[in-house]
Amino acid sequence: MNLSISIITITRNRAGFISEAIESALEQSFSDWELIVIDDASEDDTREIVEEYIVRDSRIKYFRNDGHLRISKSRNKALGSARGEYVAVLDSDDVWSDRDKLKKQYGFLEGNKDYVLIGGGVIVIDEYGKETRRYFNRESDENIRGKILFQNQFAHSSVMFRREAALKAGGYDENLNIGEDYDLWLKLGTLGKMANIKEHLLKYRVHGGNVTLKRVEALKNNIAIIRKYKDRYPNYYLAYARRALRLLVYRLIKFVG
């Protein structure tokens, strides 16, 4: 049986957040979807929480990794299990803020066959769900291409993309565990057009961890990623210089700290 949309959720030790993520999928006005949850060997109550939802709704599928595969391999596992024509990402600590999110993005991709990727605006929240800021990325394909080497133009849990295009592009790079989404968008952009809806579709949760260390790793990965696409998108040298300068600053912060 073919489906319109496969929602893919990767989780590891997010028992405190995953219910809110799943609820935001269940509240969607568009109903022709499956939700594939890949549990990357959680050590908390994630399994029990998801299984309670499975009893309520047979569209939810749960798979648990025997060991910790890490994020990119888990994302590809979900992508390989997906049956939908389109894939929507919903990370387990994020929340869709618009109940018509799937309906709007499905309608856009159905009506624009030359597009492979559609995102939307973001509301940033903290660990407790309190809004800290909100923003929009570039909307048009032309403007996205002009900016994307400078900065990722898509929040991961805001997107919907064509499954066949993602598979053709090779899926997520399993050598990356930060920036794997950014790399996929750049690959998809070589196969078709990209856009963002100027509406806030996602609550993106920022919480925990050493932010400076994560930024250093992310910048190092991003520099390696944009090098791969320097001949496919404009403004590479300016984008490289900007990221290299930021990396230097964060390394100095780490050193001084």
pLDDT above 90 covers a percentage of the chain that reads 89
Does the pLDDT value for residue 5 go beyond 80? Answer: yes
pLDDT tens-digit series, residues 90-145: 999 999 999 999 999 999 999 999 999 999 999 999 999 999 999 999 999 999 99
Q: Is residue 152 pLDDT above 90, yes or no?
A: yes
Distance, CA of 137 to CA of 152 (rounded, Å): 9
Write the DSSP symbol of residue 150: T
Q: Hunting for tokens 């990794």 — which residue is that?
A: 65
CA separation, residue 92 to residues 22, 201, 212 (Å): 8, 16, 23
- pLDDT at residue number 211: 52
pLDDT digits (tens, 9 = 90+) for 203-219: 999 987 445 447 788 88
Q: Spell out the residues 6+ positions from residue 236 whose beta carbon is closer than 8 angstroms to its own.
A: 149, 226, 229, 230
Instruction: Compute CA distances 165 → 33, 68, 255, whole Å.
Output: 19, 27, 42
Residue 88's DSSP bridge partners are 7, 160
Is residue 201 a contact partner of residue 101, using CB atoms and an 8 Å limit?
yes
Average confidence (pLDDT) over 177-199: 97
Separation of alpha carbons 110 and 63, rounded Å: 29
pLDDT given at position 210: 41
Q: What is the pLDDT of residue 14?
A: 96
Residue 87's pLDDT is 98
pLDDT at 1: 56
pLDDT, the chain, mean: 95
Q: Are 125 and 203 in contact (CB under 8 A)?
A: yes
Distance from C-alpha of 146 to C-alpha of 68, rounded to nearest angstrom: 37
Please give the average per-residue pLDDT across 46-54, as a whole number. 98
Plot region of 170 (φ>0 → left; ψ -120 to 50 → alpha; else → beta):
left
Token pair for 167: 């598979």
Lowest mean pLDDT across 82-91, 150-159, 180-189, 205-214: 205-214
Whether the per-residue pLDDT at 54 is higher than 70: the answer is yes
CATH number of 3-208: 3.90.550.10, 3.40.50.9100, 2.60.120.10, 3.40.50.2300?
3.90.550.10
The pLDDT of residue 209 is 46
Residue 67, pLDDT score: 95
Vertex 173 angle, CA 82 and 97, to 5°: 55
